[in-house]
Amino acid sequence: MLHSPISFTSYRRQQFGRCDTLQKNIAHQCEDTTTPRFEQKILESAELVEEMPLAISINDISYAVMMVTPVSLEAFVVGFARSEGIIEHINDVRDITVQLTQTQPDIESVAINLELSPRRFAQFKKRRQTHLGATGCGLCGIESLAQAIPVLSILQPSTPIEEASLITLRPRLSELQELGNKTGAVHAALLISPEGEPIVCMEDIGRHNALDKIIGYALQKDINLHNYSVLMSSRCSTELVQKAVRVGLSRLIHLASPSTLAVKLAQHYGLTLIHLPKHDAPRVFALSSK
């Protein structure tokens, strides 16, 4: 499986102490104001997922700041630009520049600038809107209901997915979550071919980011997402449905149940939407339009 070349440390070991050990010292430490509340002795360590601020600019104009796991960043920024409607094709991007920066208090961050074609940049300036997006927040900065629920094109009808193939997806995603298996606290999105074969697994602290990485990967590899599926570890929200519809993805499959609005939009746009419960049969909430 190939990944975008722009990547940094995805996790690092963090030291910690267990409460059952620390509690033995709380009583006398609370009485003694000259010593810290907890002992400084570190008992264990764990691998934690990396989180980094990413500033995105378009032709040197600030557009968004997202909190991301800093792997496959080129795919993420390209996918984010596509799902935001800033670009349509990979050829709309003329160059990508990356700069590592430092912010207070001693926080590593990265700035990525997308250089668009003159035509695309002219279109971007007409709809320019700087907004801030936090982890797991897909509508931050939206200023109106029309922007929050845009009118999109109905998807092309897709071929039905075989029920037997759905049964194996949950354990397959678990196998392919390299970062998730190390740190636990990370979302995953798995791109699946029309034949049911896994293509690439993308991981991030934000579920929207994970899907954007898939979208960017598909754009870079010139993959038309009609009849493709994306399996996600998260619940299905409205924003994920909108991203899928905008880029022509035929199916979203989730390990957690969707929201009511996500189901309504999926049904309206002809997006197949499936929930894979842990101990029950797959639940189909929306099917492709006929």
CB 108 within 8 A of CB 208: no
- Per the residue annotation, which of 137, 140, 201, 236 is the catalytic one? 137
What is the spatial distance between Cα 7 and Cα 4, in angstroms, rounded to a whole number?
A: 7
List phi, psi (to 5°) of 103.
-125, 165
What is the spatial distance between Cα 19 and Cα 202, in angstroms, rounded to a whole number?
A: 34
Sign of CA dihedral 118, 123, 127, 133: negative
Catalytic annotation on 19?
Answer: no
Active site residues per annotation: 137
